[in-house]
Amino acid sequence: MQNYVFVIDTNKQPLNPISPKKARRLLDKSKAAVFRMYPFTIILKTAIDNPTISPCQIKIDPGSKVTGFALVQNNQVIWGMELEHRGGLIRKKLESRNAVRRGRRNRNIRYRKPRFLNRKRPDGWLPPSLEHRILTIQTWVKRLIKFCPVNEIWIERVKFDTQKMQNPEINGVEYQQGELAGYEVREYLLEKWGRECTYCGKQSVPLQIEHIHPKSKGGSDRVSNLCLACEKCNQRKGNKPIEEFLKKKPSLLQKIKSKAKQPLRDAAWLTDKTFQIDCSIRVSALSERALRSPIVARLEGK
């Protein structure tokens, strides 16, 4: 799919996105100029009176590491992108800064007053690595509203029951004795394994839930024993132990074993923060389009 080009008139009023071919013609004939490189936007050199507008919908699939955006017009996707979050990098930089400050405060501070337990966090405070994800999604929504005639915003809201994934037989009051609560297994596995085959790395193919340690040899249904595989890899592995199946690929074997037991913090983040993303987008949409047609924000559950 080739992304359409955003168009604004000389008064910076958003018009219908056009194909790259039409945009090149307008630029070659000097009827428009490049206004922004990404998202690629052109500005017409004339104002358009009473333009015919086909409204678009922004569809958002929030994730803890990558968030997907799509613009839909007349049931056709005309623009899309993947937004990679910097949450992990921000956390590392904050830890590095914290270590440097701790070292500096421990040197030559005989008479300095202690600085701990004397700061108050404001209501609604979030760690910077989490707040970054919400703010970047909000920024891109504002940007798209500015360059495209948007009338609806759809946000996919998912819930992962992490307790049920770790113990499928849990029931009733047993939830009060577990670790977490939330999400569905397949959605969690898609997020965890990057929507690709665990063994060959293929993407955009039908994926099947695969037991890392075969169930016929005592493997459980716990989420730490599940991954995703394409049909060919699933059939080739059969009921072989993963050590036998990947004996010629020791690095991949080690990677799968370590990733299978990674914590469920990504699932917890999505379950907890989707509502906050929805609220922030509603506020930004209302402020951005206060003088234009109203924008409807919707939550789309799976």
Q: Report whether 42 contacts 32 (CB < 8 A).
A: yes
Rounded-to-integer distance, Cα 6 and Cα 4, Å: 7
Q: How confident is the model at residue 268 (pLDDT cuts 50, 70, 90)?
A: low
Residue 209 has pLDDT above 50, yes or no: yes
Instruction: Tell whether the torsion through CA atoms of 245, 247, 248 and 250 is positive or negative.
Output: positive
Weakest mean pLDDT among 11-25, 183-197, 237-251? 183-197
Residue 47 has pLDDT above 70, yes or no: yes
Torsion of CA 147, 296, 288, 278, to 10 degrees: -100
More confident site: 207 or 101: 207
**242: exposed, middle or buried (C-beta count within 10 Å: 0-12, 13-18, 19+)?**
buried
Structure-token pair, residue 224: 């730490």
Q: Domain residue spans in the chain?
A: 1-52, 54-90+126-160+264-302, 181-263
Q: What mean pLDDT do residues 16-41 have?
A: 94
Omega cis (within 30) before 149: no
Question: DSSP 3-state assignment of 288?
Answer: helix
Spatial neighbors of 126 by CB under 8 A, at least 6 apart, are 134
Q: What percent of the chain has pLDDT over 70?
A: 73
Question: DSSP 3-state assignment of 211?
Answer: strand
pLDDT in tens, 117-158: 667 788 888 888 888 888 888 899 999 999 999 988 888 876
Q: How many residues does the chain have?
A: 302
Rounded-to-integer distance, Cα 56 and Cα 3, Å: 14
Q: What is the mean pLDDT of the chain?
A: 80
Residue 21: the pLDDT is 95
Q: Please tell me what DSSP assigns to residue 73.
A: E
Indicate the pTM of the whole model: 0.59
pLDDT in tens, 160-199: 666 666 667 666 655 555 443 445 677 778 878 888 999 9
Q: Which residue has the tokens 């049931």?
A: 75
CATH code of domain 54-90+126-160+264-302: 3.30.420.10
Number of neighbours of residue 117 by Cβ within 10 angstroms:
5
**The architecture CATH gives domain 181-263:** Orthogonal Bundle (1.10)
